[in-house]
Amino acid sequence: MIPRYSLPEMAALFSDEARFSTWLEIELLVLDAYAELGQLPAEHAEAARRRAPVVDHAFVAAVNERERVTDHDVAAFVDVVQEAIGAPAGSFVHHGLTSSDVVDTALSLTLTRAADLLLEASDAFVAALKAKAIEHADTVELGRTHGMHAEPTTFGVKLALYCLQADRDRERLRRAREAVAVGKLSGAVGTYSNIDPEVEARVCAALGLRPVPATQVLARDRHAEYLYATATIGATIEGLATEFRHLQRSEVAETEEAFGAGQKGSSAMPHKRNPITSERLVGMARVLRGYLLSGMEDVALWHERDISHSSVERIVLPDASLLAYYALRRSARLVEGLVVRKERMRENLLEGSLGLVFSQPVLLALVASGLTRDAAYRIVQRDARAAFESRRPFRSVLEQDPELASALGERSGAVLDEAFDLERALRHRHRTIDALKEVGA
């Protein structure tokens, strides 16, 4: 992942130093387990831990240099560690293990830590949406379908629905964390031929992982589930960001991204304030979906193991984690700082729409008066088109329609009052807002 979108706490998890540190800890825990089970002299395990190398830039360089000879990263790592510890203790490093035992178990530990950061960021995103939704529960706004004026809603209802979706993403992420919080130390093809299953149990317990049956590698549907969780996070953020982009358009002007002191919206046009954060987030969602496809391709491997998944995972798992984390953090800031133009929302709803958003209650009133639905629909449709083309208020066109007056009779005025009553249209808005009570944030 390029530095521009790499936040340090997540990037640190996927550094070479972190990877080799985790590998080393697994190797040392295996020796501890052997000693506890009486399968290795305790002094060897103690010596290995005491003489274990510090994993720093020099250590990484040494492993990389050794890999130029071995053409195998784990073998190079083991060589450097064994040399640092020395015989006889060092000779037992990697005893009974295969490379995937160390690599897959370490990767699981890294992904659980990454998931914890993502969950923390999800908490902040959900909390931001919840707070803003409650704040704007009564902020009236045009509902739009197909990009066209539909019926009244509130900005709070809109955000509440995104909050509920983000909460579902968070739950999917919790399940994905559980799926990847597993380890295996069962040797080549996973049959424990050269290692006691109790070693696996003890090491996984020390790491906070759950030992599971495996071939030579952990099943990759687990990693695909993790990538699915990051992709759905991206999809939710994309939907919200797309909404904000539309609402910031000059002719709509209902919301606006926060604009900092000294910020420039365009190198050429000083008046511009563009929805750049929302546009960036939409692009990131596209990349996250691509990572999911790669993860799905990794599920099917040859026999008990091949390494066609390895090169893919070295790219997509760190990058998906980094990108989803960045997107969540940036989205929370976007929501928190969003400028909401309440008066513009009301203006677009009541004046910009010419009142056409109240066409359905007029239709229903005519049906209730005794007209067939089709006959009522034709009257309302005709008057709505006349209002739109003449740019006259919809209600005034209805009031001058003798066919409508005849259908509604002497109660025509009262019926139209009720049909055009904004509070009536939004009287159940808190049903959606109240659903947020179940959302922990």
- Catalytically annotated residue among 266, 311, 396, 406: 266
pLDDT at 264: 75
- pLDDT tens column, 212-256: 999 999 999 999 999 999 999 999 999 999 999 999 999 999 999
How far apart, in whole angstroms, are the C-alpha atoms of residue 49 and residue 89? 9
How far apart, in whole angstroms, are the C-alpha atoms of residue 172 and residue 161? 17
Q: Which of 38-52, 109-123, 172-186, 267-281 has the lowest mean pLDDT?
A: 267-281
Is 235 within 8 Å of 289 (Cβ atoms)?
A: yes
pLDDT at 300: 93
Q: Which of 57-61, 78-82, 259-263, 398-402 has the lowest mean pLDDT?
A: 259-263
Q: Sorting pLDDT into bands at 50, 70 and 90, what band is 441? A: low
Q: Sorting pLDDT into bands at 50, 70 and 90, what band is 440? A: confident
pLDDT at 227: 98
Which residues are within 8 A (CB) of 11 and not within 5 positions of it... i.e. 6 or more apart? 1, 322
- For residue 53, give the DSSP letter: P
Burial string for 78-96 (b: 16+ CB within 10 Å, else e) reads: bbbbbebbeeebbebbbeb
Query: Catalytic: 146?
Result: yes
- What rounded mean pLDDT belongs to the chain? 95
Q: What CATH class has 108-186+215-257+272-352? A: mainly alpha
Q: Sorting pLDDT into bands at 50, 70 and 90, what band is 76? A: very high
Query: Catalytic: 266?
Result: yes
Model pTM? 0.94
Bridge partners (DSSP) listed for residue 211: 183
Give the pair of three-digit tokens for residue 156: 């709070």
What are the angstrom distances between the C-alpha of 382 and each of 90, 124, 376?
88, 49, 10
Is 251 within 8 Å of 144 (Cβ atoms)?
A: no
Pick the closest to residue 46 from 58, 54, 34, 57 (CA basis): 34
Q: Where are the domains of the chain?
A: 1-95, 108-186+215-257+272-352, 356-419
Name the strand (E) or helix (H) holding 422: helix 422-425
Its CATH architecture, for the domain 1-95, is Orthogonal Bundle (1.10)
Task: Find the angle CA(311)-CA(317)-CA(318) to the nearest 5 degrees.
Answer: 100
- pLDDT tens column, 349-392: 999 999 999 999 999 999 999 999 999 999 999 999 999 999 99
- pLDDT tens column, 271-311: 878 888 999 999 999 999 999 999 999 999 999 988 889 89
CATH 1.10.40.30 fits 356-419, yes or no: yes
pLDDT above 70: residue 118? yes
| Torsion from C-alpha of 148, 349, 158, 151, nearest 10 degrees | -60
How far apart, in whole angstroms, are the C-alpha atoms of residue 242 and residue 251? 16
pLDDT above 80: residue 89? yes
Pick the closest to residue 234 from 171, 297, 110, 320 (CA basis): 320
- pLDDT tens column, 302-349: 999 888 898 999 999 999 999 999 999 999 999 999 999 999 999 999
Helix (H, G, I), strand (E, B) or coil at 215: coil
- pLDDT tens column, 146-203: 999 999 999 999 999 999 999 999 999 999 999 999 999 999 999 999 999 999 999 9
